[in-house]
Chain A
Amino acid sequence: MNSLRPTAEAAFPAKAFSGLPLDSVTLDAVRAGEVTTDDLRIHPETLEHQAHVAEEHANPQLAANFRRAAELTALDDADVMRIYEALRPRRSTFEELQETADWLSARGAVINAGLVREAASVYQRRGLCR
């Protein structure tokens, strides 16, 4: 069944967000309490690799999603949830959305910041700001 393995497997040995090689995440390690949440999270480089694969398979939008996602790996769950909430209709003022974009930029999430800025301008035009 090796032919079913994507190019990722050989060229891209998986490592966790923590940097730990995936092979080190074993049942014994879990039982010993040695496996942290970050050992089971995807690494931004892996998402960049998946973006590349998506582009090769005629889906640049999926690739763009993976690149936004790569930026979001650096954020806490709570921050991710907070930004999602801020983007829902009439949750934020135009200024709050700009601040959210700046906050994202400051953390290197520039693609996401651009998405939020784009949202702010359309929300303002369509009456979806708070």
Chain B
Amino acid sequence: MVDRRVGRIRDLDAQRVNLDGFAVENVELGLVALRSPYDPEPSLRLVDGRVVELDGVAEADFDTIDAFIAAHGLDLAVAEEAMALPDVEIARRMVDFAVPRSAVVRLVDGCTPAKLARVLALLRPAELTMAMTKLRARRTPSNQGHVTNRADDPLLLAADAATAAAYGFRELETTVPVLADAPSNAVAVSVGAAVGAAGVLVQCSVEEALELELGLRGFVSYAETVSLYGTEGVFTDGDDTPWSKAFLTSAYASRGIKMRVSSGAGAEVLMGGAERRSMLYLESRCVALARAIGAQGVQNGGIDGASVAASVPAGVRELMAENVLVMARNLEACTGNDALMSESDVRRTSRTLPILLAGSDFVCSGFGTIQRYDNMFGPSNWNAEDLDDWLVLQRDWGVDGGLTTAPPESLEALRRRAAEAVQAVYRWFGLADLSDEAVDAAVDAVGSKDLEGSGSADALTILNAARTIRESGLSMVDVVTALAESGFEEEAERVLAMLKARVVGDYLQTAAIFTPDMDVLSLVTDPNDYAGPGTGYEPSPSRQTEIDSIRQARSVEDLRAEQASWASDALSVVAPAMAGSDPREVVVGVSPATGREIWRTLSGLPVVDVLREILAGIEEEGCLGRVVRINDTLDLGMIGLSAARLAGSGVSVGLQAKGTALIHRRDLPPLANLELYSVAPVLERGHYRLLGVNAARHARGATPEPAKNPYTDEAIEARYHTAVVSLIAVERGCCAPVGPDELKVADEFVATDC
């Protein structure tokens, strides 16, 4: 079929946003974000302190989710007051910073799932951001990352876990492409994390029973993949009930292990069991249930179903509303932003930005700290290749998104120590003999593709190691011993500290993380106290410095030092510059810092070479060139005009050290000129030669062929702006109210010879 659409549409069709799927709202399939006509009317009827009707369902008809929420999930003492309040009134109290968080939490305790979903549907995006700022449990934001790879390579897992910890992730989540590898992955990531930083929580996301076993053995320090669903059918298909989940929650707590549940829009739609309800209503049931079973927190915001939610109108808004549901129920929020919901960078950013700005207990519930292809959860919305973007976003907005620049110069040593620690532990127990070549490969690898042919462990070796860990009764205490006996004493202390934290139990409280000093930050110890401007979390001065100090930042001093490294003596002052009288004379006027502090133009050409090209062009046309430095101004128009006044012909070339150039004539106003090269970053030698030629033609009265200003997208890229500001600052520093200097440009032959 011939595509008859016009070019503008053909062009739009080729954009990345159109790799995404967009669905027409369809209530029958549950493809509806905020409100379905089949969502129940909120209701709550009590008889003798017992719930006999919940959101339009009579007690005898309660499904398992209704039954559990009715029995355990609501504060019946508040319910009457809360249910009687208009939805918009509760919504306003969520947003109004004059209403304390605790007052909102109290009311929400009495809200049924349908009631709370209606309230959240009223909040507009900016209001959601405000509500999130106020309602999140912990004061200090944090972030969680994925550490996985296609090969389950333990050395790479360790090196990547150490890297993620160095970037500031306080929780790391691993999983497996091969289920039986799980014990190996859990050990490798826990050891690697301990190398990167103290106090990093680690989980291994696998089937519920195996995940619990890994927790009991001490290989992981928290659990998250305890999935809840919003309809009974899907919940049961997920092989659990509210009671089995409640028991599981207690099982983790009984071993001192932090745990949260997972839910999120789209899951019921994907499993064909949405029962025509809106995604927000179903999620409201999940969150009410999470609270009812006694989980301290929830990972939601779509998660695996995020792209389903994002395919319908207001779907991205629904994802954020889910997170606020969790916060309003006084639980830890791990706010999604992980599963890739778009191929468009604009949409990816749009989905995350309000949450980054508001802050969250964990902004991402799985930033892919590894390569996209190595993410065994599926690609994340944010991946290793986006780390610099994230750090820059934090810096741009002056907010704490939980990450820190890992110094490039220390990363190699860190990755090596992590890989060597795992190599030592696996040797200690005879799990596997991982070679030094494999360590080298893991240290340098961007991702698992770089390990191919490097002598790294094969699939069977890893599987055997994992099986031995599982079957030999090995525990994390044994790993502590192995680390200590192999020369990794500090890491052994860190792993032991995580085990001891289970005995203390403080990190079972809502939204608990550890600082690198092993202090617990939680709802209890670090409660969110936002109450309007001037309150709540602000990064400390030292944290702000970390946020601001991205590795790419350059100061004027950095640039001055870089320029100094190119210094040469090819340009020298011979005398004060005087006006000439030869009508063939064209003067090249250069800016104050040229050949004094600035030696290269923005396009990377030595300024001396630029001058040689201009002089050669002038001479080609039979004119005489000379070079003067104008010392009293950095304005290019004035430099050109001053030079023109010194020229016998009255024609000059003006040149700023950064490479911007023009042709001037002494009878023109300063800001007028004959030709201008304004885009210094893309000027090449030939352009300057042509400028010299044209200046000479102006001097002779011949007709110049004006040079086209070279213009590319690259020329106006943001990367030049900071350099320009710095170069201009250097020029200003060289300015002095003194007359011009006559300069000598050394012979090219001599210059290139030395």
A123 at the interface (CB under 8 A from B): yes
What are 14 contact pairs spanning A and B, CB under 8 A? A22-B500, A57-B509, A66-B508, A68-B254, A71-B254, A72-B250, A80-B212, A80-B216, A80-B251, A84-B247, A116-B247, A122-B62, A122-B64, A128-B241
Q: Is the CB of B296 within 8 A of A42?
A: no
A100 to B499 CA separation, bound complex (whole angstroms) = 31
Point out the residue from B209, B506, B509 that lies within 8 Å of A85, measured CB to CB: B209
Quote the shortest CB–CB distance from B415 to chain A (angstroms). Answer: 24
Check if A27 sits within 8 Å of B515, measured CB to CB: no
A110 interface hit (Cβ, 8 Å): no
Residue on A nearest B249 in the bound complex, by CB: A65
Task: Tell me if B's interface is mostly helix, strand, loop or mixed.
Answer: helix
Given the complex, which residues of B lie within 8 Å of A119, measured CB to CB?
Answer: 241, 243-244
Can you list, as one digit per residue, whether each of A58-89 has a CB less than 8 Å from chain B (1) or not (0)? 11111111101111110101001101110111
Q: Determine whether the beta carbon of B251 is less than 8 Å from that of A59.
A: no
Comparing B146-154, B343-351, B475-483, the segment that makes contact with chain A is B475-483
Q: Decide: B519 and A4 in contact? CB cutoff 8 A.
A: yes
**B417 close to chain A: CB less than 8 A:** no
| Chain A: CB-nearest residue to B485 | A31
Q: Does B236 contact A (CB under 8 A)?
A: yes
Closest approach, in angstroms, between the C-beta of A18 and any C-beta of chain B?
Answer: 10
CA distance A41 to B500 in the complex (A): 8
Docked-complex contact B249 and A41, CB < 8 angstroms = no
Nearest 7 A/B pairs, CB to CB: A65-B294, A69-B253, A119-B243, A72-B254, A42-B256, A68-B250, A87-B244
- Segment at the interface with A among B489-497, B560-568, B694-702: B489-497
Residues on the A chain within 8 Å of B499, using CB: 40
Question: Which one of A61, A73, A85 lies within 8 Å of B291 (CB-CB)?
Answer: A61
Q: Which residues of A are found within 8 Å of B509, using beta-carbon distances?
A: 6, 50, 53-54, 57, 62
Beyond A5-B519, A31-B481, whether A72 also contacts B251 by CB under 8 A is yes
Judge if A93 is at the interface, Cβ distance under 8 Å: no
A103 CB to closest chain B CB (Å) equals: 14
What is A's interface to B at a CB cutoff of 8 Å?
Answer: 1, 4-6, 8-9, 14-17, 22, 25, 27, 30-31, 33, 35, 37, 40-43, 46-47, 49-50, 53-54, 57-66, 68-73, 75, 77, 80-81, 83-85, 87-89, 112, 115-116, 118-119, 122-123, 126, 128
17 more contacts with CB within 8 A, not counting A40-B500, A116-B247, are A40-B477, A40-B499, A46-B504, A50-B505, A53-B524, A54-B509, A60-B75, A62-B296, A64-B294, A66-B508, A69-B252, A71-B254, A77-B213, A84-B209, A84-B244, A89-B244, A123-B64
B105 contacts A58, CB within 8 Å? yes
Q: Tell me if B506 and A8 are in contact (CB < 8 A).
A: yes
Across the interface, do B254 and A37 meet the contact criterion of CB distance under 8 Å? no
Asked if B3 CB lies within 8 Å of chain A CBs, one says no
B685 at the interface (CB under 8 A from A): no
Most buried by A among B247, B249, B252: B247
* B253 engages A66 (CB within 8 Å): yes
Interface hit among B66-74, B168-176, B271-279, B721-729? B66-74
Contacting residues, chain B, for A41 (C-beta < 8 A): 255-256, 502-503
Task: Find the A residue at minimum CB distance from B259.
Answer: A65
B240 touches A4 (CB 8 A): no
Complex Cα gap A77–B509 (Å): 22
Given A61-B293, A64-B72, A65-B253: A123 and B477 within 8 A (CB)?
no
Q: Which residues of A contact B655 (CB under 8 A)?
A: none
Distance of A115 Cα from B63 Cα, bound (Å): 16
Contact A116 B243 (CB under 8 A): yes
Interface size on B, residues (CB 8 A): 76
Knowing A43-B503, A65-B293, A88-B240 touch, does A30 contact B519 (C-beta < 8 A)?
Answer: no
Residue A126 contacts which of B64, B72, B295 (CB distance < 8 angstroms)?
B64
Q: Known: A27-B496, A80-B254. Contact between A68 and B525, CB under 8 A?
A: no
Whether A46 lies near B250 (C-beta < 8 A) is: no
B677: shortest Cβ distance to chain A, in Å? 58
Instruction: Give chain A nearest CB distance to B421 CB in angstroms.
Output: 15
Bound CA span A81–B217, Å: 13
Chain A positions within 8 Å of B504 at CB level: 8, 14, 22, 46
| Residue of A25, A68, A123, A126 touching B500 (CB-CB under 8 A) | A25
Residue of B nearest to A121 (CB): B67
Partner of A112, one of B212, B247, B294: B247
Chain B neighbourhood of A69, CB < 8 A: 250-254
Asked if A115 meets B247 with Cβ closer than 8 Å, knowing A30-B477, A37-B475, the reply is: yes
The total of Cβ contacts below 8 Å across the A-B interface reads 207
Q: Are A30 and B503 in contact (CB under 8 A)?
A: no
Q: Which of B93-117 contact A (CB under 8 A)?
A: 102, 105-106, 109
**Residues 484-532 of B at the A interface (beta carbon under 8 Å):** 484-485, 489, 492-493, 496, 499-500, 502-506, 508-510, 515, 517, 519-527
B interface, CB within 8 angstroms of A? 62-64, 67-68, 71-73, 75, 102, 105-106, 109, 208-209, 212-213, 216, 218, 232, 236, 239-241, 243-244, 246-256, 291-296, 330-331, 475, 477, 480-481, 484-485, 489, 492-493, 496, 499-500, 502-506, 508-510, 515, 517, 519-527
Does A40 contact B218, Cβ atoms closer than 8 Å? yes
B contact residues around A122 at 8 Å (CB): 62, 64, 67-68, 243
A30 touches B520 (CB 8 A): no
The chain B residue sitting closest to A56, CB to CB, is B524
The answer to whether B505 and A46 touch across the interface, beta carbons within 8 angstroms, is: yes
Q: Is the CB of A126 within 8 A of B232?
A: yes
A47 to B256, CA, bound (A): 8
Cα–Cα distance between A77 and B481 once the two chains are bound (Å): 23
Decide if B526 touches A126 in the complex (CB within 8 Å): no
A89 CA to B249 CA in the complex, in Å? Answer: 17
A38 to B430, CA, bound (A): 26
Closest CB-CB distance, A71 to chain B, in whole Å?
8
Contact residue among B102, B248, B496 (Cβ-Cβ distance under 8 Å from A84): B248
> Are B508 and A50 in contact (CB-based, < 8 A)?
yes
Chain B nearest CB from A86 CB (Å) reads 9
For the complex, give the distance between the alpha carbons of A35 and B481 in Å: 11
The residue among A30, A83, A126 with the most chain B CB atoms within 10 A of its own CB is: A30
CB <8 Å contact, A27 and B212:
no
* Nearest-CB residue, chain A, relative to B297: A62
Cβ-defined contact, B243 with A118, below 8 A? yes
Please, which residue of chain B has its CB at the minimum distance from the CB of A16? B503
Complex contact B520–A128 (CB within 8 A):
no
Q: Give the CA-CA distance A31 to B492 in the complex, in Å.
A: 10
Partner of B519, one of A1, A22, A59: A1
Are the CB atoms of A61 and B505 closer together than 8 Å?
Answer: no
Alpha-carbon gap, A122 to B67, bound state (A) = 8
Name B492's contact: one of A27, A33, A57, A84 (CB within 8 Å). Answer: A27
CB distance from A70 to the nearest CB of B (A): 7
Decide: A61 and B294 in contact? CB cutoff 8 A: yes
Q: How far is the CA of A77 from the CA of B209 in the complex (A)?
A: 11
Chain A residues, CB < 8 A from B484: 27, 30-31
Check A84 against B212 for contact (C-beta < 8 Å): yes
- Inter-chain contacts of B292 with A (CB < 8 A): 61
Residues of B within 8 A of A58 (CB): 102, 105-106, 109, 330
**Could you tell me the distance between the alpha carbons of A70 and B517 in the complex, rounded to whole angstroms?**
28
Residue of B nearest to A88 (CB): B244
Q: Which has the most chain B C-beta neighbours within 10 Å: A60, A61, A85, A123?
A: A61
